[in-house]
Structure formats: structure tokens, C-alpha cells
Copies of this chain bind each other. A is one copy, B any other.
């Protein structure tokens, strides 16, 4: 238990003691759930999101715009963007971002399959929605170069960066504030 992220020794002990108080049956069901989790969850062959069938519900939906691909780091990001209700295209889950510090290179994540998906045709735009960190920027730039090299001329955009909604200027961090002034946008009444 203590090997799980965010679960320390004391919490682990509490959870284990809780399980000991349950019936044999319940504990077995609990235990089997993990084996099934690993066995039965599959990844969508198009976008690599978790799925229960070969094609995830988003990729399989005729109501989604399949000409726009939003590139994200992981499955949680798909859920976050779906929760906004502002996006009707499809996704591509990289399963990580390029990070020399952690030894993650372009080959370790789903970049080749993204380039393949785009060059296959039918895609008008990709939206880079990676973290606004150095690793995210590196990955953005790598994807951009790969698409250029592949002779692709689709539109490449990235999510807007700047001061978050509801924020006061004086409490915004200096780097964000500085960039949001440099990258200011036209005010459209």
C-alpha cells in the first residue's frame, strides 16, 4: 500500500487494518479488481486514451470533429479538457513528455503515431495542450519540427497562456505577468 503515490506509512497501515476488518469475500473482490484493471483496460488504437474497446468513445463518436487533434500529456488531461465542455475535436495522448532529466526521449512517447496520424490526412489542425513547463515547450517544439520535416502544412496552435481567469495582477507570478504583457492580444469589444 505504501508504494502508492501519496500514501505514506501511517495511511497504508490504516488502509490495511480496514481491509482486515472486511469479509474474505470483499477482500478477494478488491484484490481481483486490480488484476482485472491491468488485464481489461485497453488503450485506444487511435488516440491512446484508456478505453474499454479498441476505439475509445471519443474517437468512435460521429459527433466529434475528427479534423482537429488536441495533443495532451496524459489521460487526466483528456478528462480535464472534456470537463471544460469547450472542445469538440479528438485527442492524442502522448503518455508523457520529453524530459532529458527523467530520461524520456521522443521514442518513449506516442509521437511517431501522432505524426503518422497527421500525415495520413484528414487533419486540419493540431492543438498543443502540453504543460506550460520547459519539458512541455521542448515537446511542442519537437512535434512542430517533426511535422515540418514531414512536409505537413496543417495549422499548429497552442493553448493560450497568460493570467488565469479570476486573478489579480499583483498576485500573478512575474514570469506569467511579464509574458502576458509581451504576448498581449487585441482587445475586441
Q: Chain A residues in contact with chain B, CB under 8 A?
A: 70, 72-74, 76-77, 79-81, 83-87, 127-133, 140-141, 144-145, 148, 155-170, 172-187, 189
Q: Kindly list 12 other residue pairs between chains A and B, CB separation below 8 angstroms, not including A132-B167, A158-B184, A159-B181.
A: A74-B170, A81-B181, A127-B181, A131-B167, A133-B166, A144-B187, A157-B186, A159-B180, A160-B163, A160-B184, A161-B180, A165-B179
Complex alpha-carbon distance, A133 and B47, angstroms: 36
Q: Which of B84, B156, B167 contacts A187 (CB 8 A)?
A: B156
Closest Cβ neighbor of A125 among chain B residues? B184
Asked if A158 and B187 sit within 8 Å, CB to CB, the answer is: yes
Closest 4 CB pairs of A and B: A160-B162, A84-B178, A86-B178, A160-B180
